[in-house]
């Protein structure tokens, strides 16, 4: 039987009105509850209660906004939290939305469903006891349940180890999944002077009564400068213990890539710990590759027992291995030793080992740059470092000291001392010749190169066809000049002193000043001018300037003076004795045996544009005294000499004049008829005078035959 009330319109009207009234009353009650909960007085009381005992003050704008859908939410603006016992701002929030769960209306402690912080500007720093300045804000005085936290468009100013690091566009999104932990995402931009570093991370945050744990924190970062981009990413497990105030990390991995430079690096840290402001890394190892196929780098590195504190860091041992390979050479380098860093003294190592080796690729072995050095090193900032090493270079004993420091001028100074027992340039000679015309050394033209002052001592230097002994010199080099001053060396069997310099002009300018004593003259002239017409031992004074990129240009521009005083030698290519014996001859025989021996030869030459001019050059032999005037073109090796030959056994005899023309290796020799027949009128008299002169000169050279003729 149907109930008549259900068919009554009045019943449904009353029911509807009652429901509406109930909903309105409920809404009114909820609104009133929300308003009461978020009243200025209640908010002020809640805030002060939350910050009681911290010594901080909190202020916010009176413009408070409230909403109750989908959850009771209060919006505060311009929130400022001060440092403890100070009016200095520690945290400023442009706007924050705090959304509570409905149960907060009747529970004693609130449940925050969603908390959004926008435009926060915070200062993070370590206090004297090692804690973070905002650490107390993470431990409210009353229990609060937070289900989701979002921080966006914020900035963090972090003061770490005396340096300020600023993170812009900071974003954090973390939610509570109960037993599954708190998944989070975080990103930001680390401010730099040129380009910022973009970074982001993600993981699951697990909190407990004794701390927190992130089982697998994933992160990545990147920086792009023009077309050069560097990216990095890594992973690892992080654990914080509040009981002993320590941070642990396990199974850390790092990967870095730079596609532009084809640089790739990987590193692994099995374990690290941070406790009482001390970071301990028992071990770290990694590997890298870089370069292009035509010049490929690869290497590895390893750190053992690193301990890092605020003002000091120690490393029991590190090992760095690197290898570079190109089409011609492969170069290997190994660096090992302990390291110590102190805030006021910088980075130093009391026992560092360096080994290097370079050899050829796909050709006959030619090992070089073979070094095994042990020493100490100290680096106190960018503008001050020094070192002291001993060992071997190319299997020869070596001692090396250096010091780099700023000066009152803008250019810093690099001082060095080098002592090497023996240096063979034979393995390097092909490269030296290939680069001989490349001009001023590029390394002195690139970037902020310091001024170099070096004291050099080398027992022996071997060069193809040349050997120098007991070399001592002072090297001064900068962007404008390279100078070897106070140069001393055993050269060509004798000793030489002086200086050598090179100026950074286009083309380079060279200046040679040498005072050589008792040296072998022929190799000296050969190396300087390609001129080998005189042999013997003697003294040479050299002051020459030249400018050019190759030997030809240098010879053509040669200017200066040359003084020779030679004993017991020979004039190669000319046999004066044979000339006097056989009479007039336009063509002389050639060969090493063609020469004019002498016991003394003196030359004073002025050189201009590669041409050596001289007057009154003298040659003394057993029977002859020769005086010569003329010139030699050092570039074309052509000479023009006017000789006057006298008989030393008969000084009253008439001298014989001779002309020498042509190439120094095979010159043409003729008698100077004009000087021989000067004053004679007819051809017969001239011929007779010439024959008598030659016959008399022959008797000079053959005194025994002169007696037989009598």
Domain count, the chain: 2
- Under 8 Å between Cβ of 528 and 551: no
Neighbouring residues of 678: CB distance < 8 A, sequence distance ≥ 6? none
Question: Given the DSSP bridges, would you call strands 509-520 and 396-405 parallel, antiparallel or unpaired?
Answer: unpaired
Distances (CA, A) of 283 to 43, 144, 233, 306, 307: 52, 41, 20, 7, 10
Whether residue 250 has pLDDT greater than 50 = yes
CA distance 554 to 218: 64
Residues 483, 504: contact at Cβ < 8 Å?
no
pLDDT tens figures, 518-527: 999 998 888 8
Task: Tally Cβ neighbours within 10 Å of residue 644.
Answer: 15
* Residue with the two structure tokens 């090796």: 637
Report which of 554, 477, 468, 481 is spatially closest to residue 519, judged by C-alpha positions. 468
Domain end (from 93, 128, 145):
145
| Arithmetic mean of pLDDT, 684-702 | 62
- Indicate whether 138 pLDDT > 80: no
Q: Which pLDDT score is estimated for 566? A: 94
Mean pLDDT confidence for 264-268: 96
Residue 647 lies in a domain: yes
pLDDT band at 710; cut points 50, 70, 90: very low
Which SS3 state, helix, strand or coil, does residue 84 take? coil
Distance CA(70)–CA(97), nearest Å, equals: 13
**pLDDT-based confidence at residue 28 (cuts at 50, 70, 90):** very low
Q: Which pLDDT value is given to residue 89?
A: 86
Cα(287)–Cα(254) distance, integer angstroms: 11
- All residues at 6 or more sequence positions from 539 whose CB lies less than 8 Å from its CB, including other chains: 515, 516, 517, 518, 519, 563, 564, 565
Query: What are φ and ψ of residue 436, in 5° steps?
Result: -65, -25
Give residue 22's pLDDT.
Answer: 41
Distance of CA 656 to the CA centre of its chain: 68
Say if 33 falls within a structural domain: yes
Residue 82 tokens read as 């001060």
Confidence at residue 412, expressed as pLDDT on a 0 to 100 scale: 86
Distance CA 534, CA 617 (A): 13
Q: What is the pLDDT of residue 707?
A: 45
pLDDT at 537: 94
pLDDT of residue 459: 95
Per-residue pLDDT, 172: 94
Whether 485 is in a domain gets the answer no
Q: What is the mean pLDDT of residues 234-245?
A: 89
Structure tokens at 314: 């120690």
Mapping DSSP onto H, E and C, the string for 684-695 reads HHHHHHHHHHHH
Question: Which of 391, 406, 380, 385 is closest to 354 using CA atoms?
Answer: 391
- Residue 66: Cβ-neighbour burial (10 angstroms; 0-12, 13-18, 19+): middle
Q: Compute CA distances 162 → 125, 170, 194, 290, whole Å.
A: 10, 22, 21, 34
**Is the pLDDT assigned to residue 68 strictly greater than 50?**
yes
Task: State residue 592's pLDDT score.
Answer: 57
Per-residue confidence at 622, pLDDT binned at 50, 70, 90?
confident
Write out the residue range of the structural domain in which residue 618 sits. Answer: 574-709
- Residue 164 binned pLDDT confidence (cut-offs 50, 70, 90): confident
> For residues 48 and 53, what is the distance between their CA atoms, to the nearest angstrom?
9
pLDDT at 530: 77
d(CA 460, CA 462): 7
Report if residue 108 sits inside a domain.
yes
**Domain presence at residue 503:** no
644 located within any domain: yes
pLDDT surpasses 70 at 19: no
Pick from 588, 667, 591, 579: which is nearest to 624 by CA? 579
Inter-CA distances, 296 with 240, 357, 416, 437, 627, Å: 42, 16, 31, 27, 65
DSSP per residue over 568-626, as a string? EEEEET--HHHHHHH---SS---STT-EEEEEEEEEEEEEETTEEEEEEEEEE-SSEEE
Mean pLDDT value of segment 566-577:
86
- Phi first, then psi, for residue 687 (nearest 5°) are -65, -40
Strands 148-160 vs 182-190: parallel, antiparallel or unpaired: unpaired
- The pLDDT assigned to 516 comes to 93
User: What pTM was computed for the model?
Assistant: 0.76
Give tens-digit pLDDT for 385-439: 899 999 999 999 999 999 998 877 778 889 999 999 999 989 988 888 777 767 7
Residue 52 domain-assigned (yes or no) = yes
Tokens of 185: 């995402």
Query: Rounded to 5 degrees, what angle do the CA atoms 641, 646, 652 make?
Result: 145
643 found inside a domain: yes
Give me the mean pLDDT over the 640-652 stretch: 84
686 phi and psi, to 5 degrees? -65, -40
Question: Which is more confident, 679 or 496?
Answer: 496
Name the token pair of 255.
């990967």
Residue % of the chain over a pLDDT of 70: 82
Phi-psi bin for 181: left (phi > 0), alpha (psi -120 to 50), beta?
A: left
Above 80 in pLDDT, residue 372? yes
**Maximal CA-CA distance, the chain:** 186
Answer with the residue of higher pLDDT: 308 or 705. Answer: 308
Beta bridge partners of 225: 228
Question: Is residue 554 helix, strand or coil?
Answer: helix
Alpha-carbon span 569 to 561, nearest angstrom: 22
Task: Please choose, from the candidates 449, 560, 553, the residue with its C-alpha nearest in 3D space to the C-alpha of residue 508.
Answer: 553
Q: Is the pLDDT of residue 455 over 90?
A: yes
User: How is 245-309 classified by DSSP, letter by letter?
Assistant: TEEEEEEEEEEEEETTTTEEEEEEEEEEEEETTEEEEEEEEEEEEEEETTEEEEEEEEEEEEEE-
């Amino acid at each position: 039987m149907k109930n008549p009330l259900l068919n009554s319109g009045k019943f449904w009207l009353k029911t509807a009105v009652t429901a509406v009234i109930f909903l309105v009353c409920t809404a009114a009650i909820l609104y009133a509850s929300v308003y009461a909960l978020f009243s200025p007085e209640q908010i002020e009381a809640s805030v002060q209660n939350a910050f009681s005992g911290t010594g901080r003050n909190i202020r916010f704008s009176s413009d408070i906004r409230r909403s109750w859908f989908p959850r009771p939410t209060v919006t505060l603006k311009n929130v400022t939290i001060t440092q403890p016992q100070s009016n200095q701002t520690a945290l400023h929030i442009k706007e924050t939305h705090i959304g509570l769960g409905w149960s907060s209306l009747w529970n004693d402690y609130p449940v925050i469903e969603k908390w959004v912080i926008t435009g926060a500007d915070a200062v993070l720093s370590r206090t004297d006891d090692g804690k973070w300045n905002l650490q107390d804000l993470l431990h409210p005085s009353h229990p609060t349940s937070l289900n989701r936290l979002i921080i966006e468009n914020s900035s963090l100013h972090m003061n770490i180890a005396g340096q300020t690091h600023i993170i812009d566009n900071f974003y954090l999104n973390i939610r509570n999944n109960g037993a599954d932990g708190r998944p989070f995402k975080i990103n930001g931009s680390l401010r730099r002077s040129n380009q910022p570093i973009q970074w982001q991370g993600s993981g699951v945050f697990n909190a407990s009564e004794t701390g927190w744990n992130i089982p697998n924190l994933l992160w990545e970062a990147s920086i792009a400068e023009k077309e050069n981009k560097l990216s990095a990413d890594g992973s690892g497990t992080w654990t914080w213990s509040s009981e002993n105030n320590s941070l642990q990390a396990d199974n850390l991995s790092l990967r870095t890539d730079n596609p532009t430079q084809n640089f790739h690096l990987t590193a692994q840290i099995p374990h690290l710990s941070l406790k009482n402001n001390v970071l301990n890394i028992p071990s770290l190892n990694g590997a890298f590759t870089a370069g292009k196929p035509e010049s490929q780098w690869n290497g590895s590195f390893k750190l053992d027992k690193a301990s890092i504190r605020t003002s000091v860091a120690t490393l029991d041992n590190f090992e760095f291995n690197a290898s570079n390979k190109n089409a011609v050479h492969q170069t290997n380098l190994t660096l090992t030793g302990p390291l110590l860093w102190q805030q006021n003294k910088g980075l130093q190592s009391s026992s560092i080992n360096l080994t290097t080796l370079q050899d050829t690729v796909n050709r006959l072995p030619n090992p070089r740059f073979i070094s095994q050095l042990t020493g100490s090193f100290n680096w106190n900032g960018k503008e001050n470092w020094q070192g002291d090493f001993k060992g071997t270079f190319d299997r020869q004993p070596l001692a090396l000291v250096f010091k780099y420091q700023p000066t009152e001028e803008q250019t810093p100074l690099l001082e060095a001392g080098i002592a090497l027992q023996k240096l063979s340039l034979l393995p390097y000679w092909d490269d030296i010749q290939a680069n001989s015309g490349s001009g001023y050394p590029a390394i002195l033209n690139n970037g902020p190169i310091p001024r170099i002052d070096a004291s050099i001592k080398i027992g022996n230097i071997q060069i193809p066809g040349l050997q120098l002994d007991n070399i001592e010199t002072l090297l001064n080099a900068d962007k404008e000049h390279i100078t070897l001053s106070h140069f001393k060396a055993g050269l060509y069997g004798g000793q030489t002193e002086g200086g050598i310099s090179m100026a950074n002009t286009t083309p380079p300018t060279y200046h040679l000043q040498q005072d050589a004593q008792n040296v072998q003259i022929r190799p000296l002239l050969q190396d300087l001018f390609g001129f080998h017409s005189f042999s013997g031992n003697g003294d040479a004074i050299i002051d020459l300037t030249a400018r050019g990129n190759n030997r030809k240009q240098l010879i053509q521009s040669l200017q200066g003076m040359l003084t020779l005083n030679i004993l017991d030698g020979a004039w190669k290519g000319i046999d004066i004795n044979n000339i006097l014996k056989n009479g007039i001859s336009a063509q002389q025989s050639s060969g090493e045996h063609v020469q004019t021996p002498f016991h003394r030869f003196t030359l004073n030459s002025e050189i201009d544009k590669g041409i050596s001019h001289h007057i009154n050059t003298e040659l003394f032999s057993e029977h002859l005294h020769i005086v010569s005037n003329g010139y030699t073109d050092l570039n074309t090796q052509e000479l023009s000499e006017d000789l006057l030959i006298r008989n030393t056994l008969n000084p009253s005899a008439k001298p014989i004049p001779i002309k020498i023309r042509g190439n120094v290796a095979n010159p043409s020799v003729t008698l100077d008829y004009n000087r021989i027949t000067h004053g004679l009128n007819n051809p017969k008299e001239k011929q007779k005078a010439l024959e008598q002169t030659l016959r008399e000169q022959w008797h000079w050279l053959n005194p025994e035959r002169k007696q037989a003729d009598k």
